[in-house]
Amino acid sequence: MGGHTDLGTQLALGTASRPVTDFRERVRALVGDRISPLLPACERERRFPREAVTAFGAAGLFHERWSGGPHGDLGRSVLLSEEMGRAGLGGIGIGVGLHLEAATSLLRGFGTTAYTKEVLEQALAGESVCCVATSEQHVGSDLSAVATALTREGDHWRVRGEKWFVSPGAAADHAIVLCRGDQGPALVLVPRSGLTPVQRWETTGMRSLETVRLRVDARVTDDAVLARPGAGLAAVGQGLMYERLALAAQVLGALDLASVLAITHLKRRKQFGSPLYRHQALRLRMADLCSQILVARRGLYATVVEVSAGGAASVSDTAALKVTVARLGERVTSECAHIFGGRGYVEDQTPLARLWRDFKVGRLGGGSDEMMWELVAAGFRPDHGLYENWIAT
């Protein structure tokens, strides 16, 4: 395998560079051999396969992604997510991403005790599946209102409450739980013994993600506190940044799959005596979508370089990227299904309808469109000198 090369910069320098193609091929082979075969049954049974986390971890891919500087190697994160998207993994891919990006980043960034470091090692090795539980029945976009209680009981902490949407909740060995302490929101690592899945949601898509309602009732020691009361929201924000980048990469991978299938169908399917491709309306619409995918991908790679270099605009840039790509994902999967006509709507004929219902949730997961736009708007800077130069006042 040779020495470790940071792929964050390599991605921007050239997607065909040797280290990038080597890593991509290793991920692609593992996904093809070990993960894709799990998908049909997991979608049918609405079950997240912990074998997926085990396989990536055992192959050393999680360790490679998180080696290097404060962000680990974001290039490897993008390549892992793109390949899972390109393989049409949907819910399994998002579940692996939540484990690897949202949960592992929090363990790595905020875990200072022997216990949290041990769980981090297990997560990287694929021996422990981790998830992040923030949302509640009455708490979604506004996480500052979190109600799950963190109270002191002798020399322990008691964490008690109910989390509404947790993925992959039933498979998780550990959940990082946002809860309310005396000074405000905190983040606490809770083992499986304190977690009870009480309902598996009948989600429209992402069925193999296995999103559940989770009861939390645990007694934990000081070692399990990742962010003390009052520091929980800032910590969660960091985990979300990685989740958003990975989500954007996975959506773009899935859009490669959808668009190549649709382009090929345009060339193969004949109506009115000629291939659909000859019909200008379809050809140009597809060209428009592919142009937007191309520009979005360049934006993803540029954002990875910016974040890797410690750029100040990381949070708002990542939010801008995520909301734009998530919305593009919903539109492109819908249009590609449309190009297949009736077959696009029939799930045993093409994967297009599944991709469409899977990636609909991209506009909510990791923060909704409106929350992303709020982060972008928070970075607005007026220029009064410029204004007065150009505008009659």
Ligand X SMILES: Cc1cc2nc3c(=O)[nH]c(=O)nc-3n(C[C@H](O)[C@H](O)[C@H](O)COP(=O)(O)OP(=O)(O)OC[C@H]3O[C@@H](n4cnc5c(N)ncnc54)[C@H](O)[C@@H]3O)c2cc1C
Q: Which chain residues interact with ligand X by CB under 6 A?
A: 98, 131-135, 140-141, 165-167, 203, 206, 211, 361, 364-365, 367-371
Of 207 and 297, the one with the shorter C-beta distance to ligand X is: 207
In DSSP terms, 153 is beta-bridged to 156
| CB atoms inside a 10 Å sphere around CB 330 | 17
Query: What is the rounded CA–CA span in Å between residue 96 and residue 49?
Result: 10
Of 249 and 371, the one with the shorter C-beta distance to ligand X is: 371
Of 77 and 167, the one with the shorter C-beta distance to ligand X is: 167
**Closest distance to ligand X from the beta carbon of 297 (Å):** 25
Question: CA-based diameter of the chain, in Å?
Answer: 80
**Closest distance to ligand X from the beta carbon of 26 (Å):** 27
**Closest distance to ligand X from the beta carbon of 287 (Å):** 31
Of 373 and 387, the one with the shorter C-beta distance to ligand X is: 373
Of 68 and 97, the one with the shorter C-beta distance to ligand X is: 97
**CB 61, CB 73: distance < 8 Å:** no
Phi, psi values for residue 189, rounded to 5°: -90, 120
**Closest distance to ligand X from the beta carbon of 141 (Å):** 3
b/e per residue 219-245 (b: at least 16 CB within 10 A): ebeeebbbbbbebbbebbebbbbbbbb
**Closest distance to ligand X from the beta carbon of 384 (Å):** 27
Two tokens, residue 239: 């985990």
Of 199 and 349, the one with the shorter C-beta distance to ligand X is: 199
Of 57 and 239, the one with the shorter C-beta distance to ligand X is: 239
Strand pairing class (174-181; 130-133): parallel
**Closest distance to ligand X from the beta carbon of 306 (Å):** 25
Residue with the CB atom nearest ligand X in the bound state: 140
CA neighbor of 363 nearest in space, from 85, 101, 141: 141
**CB 296, CB 254: distance < 8 Å:** no
**Closest distance to ligand X from the beta carbon of 139 (Å):** 7
- Catalogue the long-range contacts made by 119-123 (C-beta closer than 8 Å, 24 or more residues apart): 119/174, 119/189, 122/173, 123/57, 123/62, 123/99, 123/174
